[in-house]
Structure 1
Amino acid sequence: MRLMFLAPLLMPMTAEAFTARNGMTAVQTGPAEITVIHEVRRGDTDYWCAAGDFVQRVMGAPGNTRLWRASQKPRGAGDGIVFTLDKGKAAEGAGLSQFGSGPRDGSIPVSMAVGSFCRVIVPYFD
Structure 2
Amino acid sequence: MRRVVFLAAFLLIATSAAAQTFRAENGVFVLPFSAGFEVQSDGGHGARGMWCAAADYSRRVLGAASVDRIYVAEGRPPGLGQRAPVRFTMDASGLTPRTVIIVGASLSRAGSNLSVGLAYRFCADARLIN
Q: Decide which of 67, 75, 78 is 2:70's aligned counterpart.
A: 67
- List gaps (5 residues or longer) in structure 1: 99-104
Q: How far apart are the structure 2 equivalents of 1:95 and 1:83? A: 15
* Change in 2 beyond 3 A, CA 1:61/1:2: same
Q: What is the CA RMSD across the aligned residues, in angstroms?
A: 3.2
State the TM-score, normalizing by the size of structure 1: 0.69
Structure having the higher helix fraction is 2
- List gaps (5 residues or longer) in structure 2: 103-110
SS at match of 1:61: coil
- What aligned pairs does 1:1-126 form with structure 2 within 5 A after superposition? 2=2, 5=6, 8=10, 13-14=16-17, 16-30=20-34, 32-74=35-77, 77-88=82-93, 90=95, 96-97=100-101, 106-115=112-121, 117-118=122-123, 119-120=125-126, 122=129
SS at match of 2:93: helix
Q: How far apart are the structure 2 equivalents of 1:64 and 1:85? A: 11
Q: How far apart are the structure 2 equivalents of 1:75 and 1:54? A: 24
The Cα offsets for residues 3-53 of structure 1, whole Å up to 9 and x where unpaired, read as 8716537859425222212221112222x4111112022211210110111
SS at match of 2:126: coil
Q: Decide whether the 8 Å contact of 2:36 with 2:89 is kept in 1.
A: yes
Residue 92 of structure 2 aligns to which amino acid in structure 1?
K
